[in-house]
């Protein structure tokens, strides 16, 4: 049906109507007092959502822009960077570091697995000369649906003395992520994920340890320069012309998050992800991340049943039920489909999606007890 598509992909995610209506208003001048007062609220509420006392910068870019904003202000040619890779996005950190001339070493695991803290501890213990300057890691790895234990990993990194640089693109809002409490030195995220607004903005927060490394950076980024952004935050402005309308929408979305409470937003994502996982198991389908404790609350990766293809599942869900789920990426293309439970998602959306998935699987000839997924989903949602 026209105009009925529901996004169950891990970004862009659904946007509340009140946010869309705010974005649709005429742009306001980016140097006007009116916009400054919007920014003042936005900067304060971003600190609340990021659970930090440090400034949160806003970039007019996608999430990858914020990843560049992190490494392009920290890495000098020849620096040693350790990248913890559990999927495509972990690998993206390594590629960005390499683009700045860093010597990159990776600790890599198979799709669906997470970094074992003992492996990291051992590698960093071997670095007795403290040559590793930075460790990059992904919190919620969107390409697989696995989530690293960032709290433990960052405490190990802190013990060694390197900087921890964390991709929170699909974890901030969806999962507890506490940079000040956990010792995350640099954390980035993007707007089209848990923030309930369309793509186009990205965020970065850095602590004093990271600023000391920034000060040693020989060729910091121009557009993403931290010093320019810090000065702008202090003046309730931005260094360059920002995506004014998106920031107006972000103001509304952040107020909604604050009203719900960040802990409750995290808890809602967990409840949805765990209920969906129970439903998937009840439908005799396999999860790419088998252990609940390693699962992202933002995204669930599912293997197709024997004899049924991912394109058929995605096509039927879209054509017959107006629900869009994501394919796997790169080597996981057509091997998994991914369902997002990220951002502006309520119980009704999950019930509709699992119902539609059951209808799809029945049409495609999968053997399961019709209603088993919904029963498991609703039982878990109502716990």
The contact set with ligand PLP (CB under 6 A) reads 11, 62-64, 89, 138, 142, 167, 169-170, 190
CA-closest candidate to residue 368, choices 299, 317, 318, 308: 308
CA dist., res. 133 & res. 148, Å (int): 20
Query: How far is residue 263's CA from residue 260's CA, in Å, rounded to a whole number?
Result: 8
Q: 217 to each of 54, 132, 221, 280, how far by Cα in Å?
A: 20, 16, 9, 47
Cβ 82 to ligand PLP, closest distance in Å? Answer: 18
* Separation between Cα atoms, residue 146 and residue 252, nearest integer Å: 30
Residue among 95 and 212 whose Cβ is closer to ligand PLP: 95
Of 52 and 136, nearer to ligand PLP (C-beta) is 136
Residues 6+ positions from 92 with CB-CB distance below 8 Å: 64, 67, 167
Q: Bridge-partner residues for 167, per DSSP? A: 138, 188
Measured from each CB, the residue nearest to ligand PLP is 63
Find the shortest distance in angstroms from Cβ 23 to ligand PLP: 18
Quote the least distance from Cβ 188 to ligand PLP, whole Å. Answer: 8
Please say which residue, 120 or 169, places its beta carbon nearer to ligand PLP. 169
Shortest distance in whole angstroms from residue 206 CB to ligand PLP: 17
Cβ at position 203, least distance to ligand PLP in Å: 11
Q: Which is nearer to ligand PLP, 11 or 373 (CB)?
A: 11
CB of 63 to ligand PLP, least distance (A): 3
Check if the beta carbon of residue 366 is closer than 8 Å to that of residue 284: yes
Three-state DSSP at 86 gives coil
Q: Quote the CA–CA distance of 95 and 284 in Å, as a whole number.
A: 38
**C-beta of 174 vs 356, nearer to ligand PLP:** 174
Measured from the CB atom, is 61 or 353 closer to ligand PLP?
A: 61
- CA–CA gap between residue 68 and residue 4 (Å, rounded): 35
């Amino acid at each position: 049906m026209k105009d009925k598509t529901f996004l169950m992909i891990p970004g862009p995610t659904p946007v509340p109507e009140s946010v869309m209506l705010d974005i649709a208003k005429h742009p306001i001048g980016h140097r006007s007092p009116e916009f400054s007062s919007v920014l003042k609220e936005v900067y304060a509420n971003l600190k609340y959502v990021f659970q930090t006392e440090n400034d949160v910068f806003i970039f007019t870019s996608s999430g990858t822009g914020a990843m560049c904003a992190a490494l392009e202000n920290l890495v000098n040619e020849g620096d040693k960077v350790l990248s913890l890779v559990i999927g495509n996005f972990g690998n993206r950190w390594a590629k960005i570091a390499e683009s700045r001339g860093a010597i990159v070493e990776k600790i890599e695991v198979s799709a669906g697995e997470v970094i074992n803290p003992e492996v990291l501890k051992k590698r960093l213990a071997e670095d007795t000369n403290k040559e590793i300057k930075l460790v990059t890691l992904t919190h919620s790895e969107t390409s697989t649906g696995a989530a690293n234990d960032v709290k433990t990993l960052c405490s190990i990194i802190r013990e060694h003395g390197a900087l921890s640089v964390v991709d929170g693109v699909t974890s901030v809002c969806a999962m507890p992520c506490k940079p000040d409490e956990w010792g995350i030195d640099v954390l980035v995220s993007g707007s089209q994920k848990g923030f309930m607004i369309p793509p186009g903005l990205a965020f970065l927060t850095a602590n004093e340890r990271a600023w000391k490394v920034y000060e040693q950076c020989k060729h910091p980024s121009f557009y993403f320069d931290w010093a320019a952004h810090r000065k702008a935050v202090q003046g309730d402005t931005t260094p360059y012309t920002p995506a004014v309308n998106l920031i107006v929408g972000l103001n509304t979305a952040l107020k909604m998050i604050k009203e719900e409470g960040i802990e409750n937003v995290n808890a809602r994502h967990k409840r949805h992800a765990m209920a969906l996982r129970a439903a998937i198991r009840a439908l005799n389908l396999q999860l790419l991340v088998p252990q609940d404790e390693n699962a992202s609350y933002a995204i669930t990766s599912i293997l197709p049943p024997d004899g049924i293809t991912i394109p058929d599942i995605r096509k039927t869900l879209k054509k017959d039920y107006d629900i869009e789920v994501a394919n796997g990426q790169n080597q996981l293309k057509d091997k998994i489909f991914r369902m997002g439970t990220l951002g502006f998602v309520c119980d009704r959306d999950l019930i509709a999606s699992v119902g539609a998935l059951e209808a799809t699987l029945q049409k495609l000839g999968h053997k399961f007890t019709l209603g088993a997924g919904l029963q498991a989903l609703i039982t878990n949602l109502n716990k």
